[in-house]
Structure 1
């Protein structure tokens, strides 16, 4: 069996068997290297040499995690939660139900989207904002599956489309460099216009979710402990200073295109302006970096895995063999690549870590089939994002469940994983194929 194919199969088998993904990547790389004729020491050397490719991204993630926790400690997310909770004091009967639902869901959608760029706190806002709102959700008889799909849309779509914040990492630091590394010159492409077509698929999925989960659904009202979800009162000065820090961080992102520079700037300002207690700064930064360290280590290991795959020299025979099986159809080739990306991301749980793995195989395959640079980027970018919505191990599903299940009435698999898989992965495949064909 081809060494690359066997390595991917071993990786997926270990991942779905719940073997830790970093260990799975290392073991799969060793299997691929040995079968590919590298020898044990050569495999480890290739793996080690490839680790540096993910170091910058891992550091970016760690620093963003620290900034996210620091920002959450300023109390700004609590203020946002308080504004939403205040709606529960309104009359939410009769005609006002639709208006309050629309306002509530729109705010949650905008908050989730901004958590990836303008307010780069990732999923840190969900355990703060969502649990206090569950009573209001119950009054409105709001289907929590709809809330889960809205949150997941906001966590996934921005990094697919917008090269700012986490999107800057996914598009500019992972996707484009990996396409270059594996043999295709990217040049001065417009990444936003390329990824707009797959992102439109996410929008279609969101619209269908609104229709699918529109009917009222009853839940038991369970009062949560106020000590767990107590909303703090902040001075207007502190709110404005925190908002100013966010603005400065966004400007630094846009000017430097460096998440490391923007995160460090944010951490320094939060500390100097005393928006987080000086005595707690070290613990806050450490806990934040720990929160994102897992993803960082997965990215580093994925870079090592991809380096071993390239070193085996087994990619070219795999591409030739795949071409023989799939025939001359670009459509079939694009569909197979998208489905492979879906399977790998479902197992790993991280689209950011999937791209280095699949790019090593897909770029030569795209060259073989005559796909344009833009189509290749669209295929790999979509294949990487496929499965992020719908993977049981993904932050994009674990985050919404952590908030919606605070009272024990929201099942992770049946009410977050399956709805997000259904509404997002099918449209992504369709619109990913459209992008591959028209670009």
Structure 2
């Protein structure tokens, strides 16, 4: 066996293999057309939750003849990685009638106030994580609320499920009554949460100012200070989502060159910065994002639902901006990263750009992993990565089965992106252990 397919040391842990069709995209096909890895009859060998070998079954079977093998009926892809989602907004999905700023005031801020109650946060965290797994999402960057307990609730639930999750307390000292912190509480609670959770299990922390309008200059400066002090955390916020929002930011910060420059002035633009949306970016902003190493979590279903616009993939690609995909629940209209890939295709086409189905899969896996700085851990089912994967059923619906019959790999993948939803996710596996099974009464215990 070649070194490419096997780690160069003795296997000491528990080995298990999975046999089936395997697909992953380890790099952006826009620049690396050979990044698509596909085995029609593949073998994925896992040791203590880590991939130790992957390749064609015919090439690997003799090396692992002693290893128990689970046959997989469906297409194995890496677990999906949601680069931007709000767990407290789950119960406000499909709220009618407003664009961003009015939608926040009418629907979201009242819902988030309830997270002062820890029992409410615990219940929503459990329901939210169950939805992620049911939709094949195994890693995510998640907004909580301004309440410290909302982060504790999410991290406790994620730790119990062994999910790879990043989150943080929202900073918003200019927020509405009941969702307003102070400089003192922002600092103390953020530091305490980092100490409790960052690096524990598969969890990591993100400094999380909601967006420029909800934090004072002093709090934005504090966020920059916290980011500089804790060099391995993320920065997670919103950027240039909606025209009314952009106009309000420009009015408040007239001295700034643009929306991104507001964050830059406070030390918030760097290689670990994740900005959601980026619908209304100037050429200067794209150039600065690329130069800094910061990236955009593209949220196409949310942008359509709130009437914000369509992300400009061509503009971002010209500058080499780092990209991932997010559902942005609850402005987003589905937890499904398959559906989100399909929405990204349609958003691109609205600007007369074509998003290849393999590139869409890349954005939902390795692309989002790079954005979240976890690409060494997950995203491509590569040797040495954690064995988080999803089994997709291309016959999950009668229509999908008809469309996929006799189709090429690219056609099948695209059909699942356009026609698929949670019904397509047959199983979700976390580090080689079953976490969701559509055919199980309890949604677990893969057969």
Q: Which has the higher contact order (CA 8 A, sep 6+)?
A: 1
* More helix, by proportion: 1
* More strand, by proportion: 2
TM-score, length basis structure 1: 0.23
Flag the structure with larger Rg.
1
TM-score, length basis structure 2: 0.22
